[in-house]
Structures are given as structure tokens and as C-alpha cells.
Amino acid sequence: MAEVDTFMAGNSRISRIFYTLFRSLVVAICVGYTRTKVIGKHNIPKSGAFLLAPIHRSNIDTPLAAAVTARRMRFMGKDSIWKIKPIGWIVSSLGAFPVTRGSADREALKRCISVLEAGEPLVLFPEGTRQSGPVVQPLFDGAAYVAVKAGVPIIPVGIGGSEGVMPKGSKMIYPRKCVLIIGEPIVAIADESGRIPRSAVKDITQQLSIDLQRLFDEAQQLAGTPNVVIEQ
């Protein structure tokens, strides 16, 4: 019952008001402190559900994702966050819901699909946990599967400079430039029978990986922290 309550907390009026206030604060900090620039906002649907799939290099990527649109977003979070009750209450009020890290967690996938089918945008980091370095790591198929199942587009987002704004292990946010580039939607549709062929999920995941790498490289360049791959 507690898990259901945690999931549904994001649907309350209080949650929506809290989210709006929180997002306004985030945008103010991003624009005024980290000089965040967002490119490609026209690729964000003005109505209907979509799955936002950003690169993940810093803890600040989550609030940055909320800054790309005034529309209310839903997020998944590590279940360990909810072990700290005050923080758990806050993230639940912001529309987040817990997932078990390192497991398939079918319930989490069902929740993602429910959010999208209800017409709400969802943020899902396809690399899974936070990564480091210039190369997009192998993506989980979950993002593609959820998008196809719900019949919504995937919006890839490259985030440049965030690893320098808040490096791994740091509790400080440094005033460095950050750039977000929103890519063109990737259409995710099941076949005529409603089935989701594994090959289709793999193809979409591969396309997402290619798009993310290109957008990540462009964003890093504009942020003044160009990706450099050292060949062995």
C-alpha cells in the first residue's frame, strides 16, 4: 500500500503546485548560476505524453531535465532515496516514484507505462545509473519498450557541462556553463497486431544511442568541455 501511495502522490493537486514552485526555483538557479542554455525546445510536444531520454553524467541532470519545458514531468528514482523520509516525501510530491536499482522491476515499467498512458511526460535516463566520460554507455532497452508500449515518442537530450557543474561525489554546484540540446522525436510504434517485436525495441535503442552521442558531443562543445576520446 505504501508503494501505491508513493506512486499516486504525484497525481495530487498539492504535488502539482509544489512541482511548479520547485521548477521555477530550478530554472532561476540554472539561468542565473550555471548559465544553462536550452536548444531545440520546439522538439518538445506541447500536449500529450512523451518520454524524455537525457544523457546522465551528474546528479544535476534531473533538475536540468525539468527545466526543458514548463510542462510537468514525472521521474523515476532509486528506491534508497525513499529510506530518508523527509526526502522521500519531497520527491514523491514532485511526482517521482521508486524503482529497485539493478533489477528488472517489472512493476516500475508498468508504472512508467501508466504515467505515459495518462498523458503525462516521463523522464527516463536510458543509460540507467549516472555514468562518466565522453562515450554514451550501452543503453537499457527499457526506455524503448516503455515508449513503444505506450505509443509515445522518445525525445533524446544531450547535456553538456553538467559533470563539471556537479562532479561525482561532490555536494557543491559550481557556476559553470551548461548546455542542453533537445533532439528530434524518435517515433516508437508497435506493429499492427499490437505486439512489440524485440527487433523493433533493439532498433529504437540503437537509434537512441546514436542520437544521444551526437547531441552529447554537440552540447559538450557548446559548453566549452568538448568530448575527447582517447584511442587505445
pLDDT single digits (tens) 100-133: 765 556 778 888 999 999 999 999 999 988 899 9
**d(C-alpha 212, C-alpha 218), whole Å:** 10
Average pLDDT, the chain: 86
83 pLDDT exceeds 90?
Answer: no
- Work out the burial of residue 94: count CB atoms within 10 Å of its CB; fewer than 13 is exposed, 13-18 middle, 19 or more buried: buried
If one counts every other C-beta atom within 10 angstroms of the C-beta of residue 122, the result is 26
Report CA torsion sign: 133, 199, 125, 6: negative
CATH of domain 34-77+103-223: 3.40.1130.10
State the average pLDDT over residues 170-193.
Answer: 88
* Of 9 and 84, more confident: 84
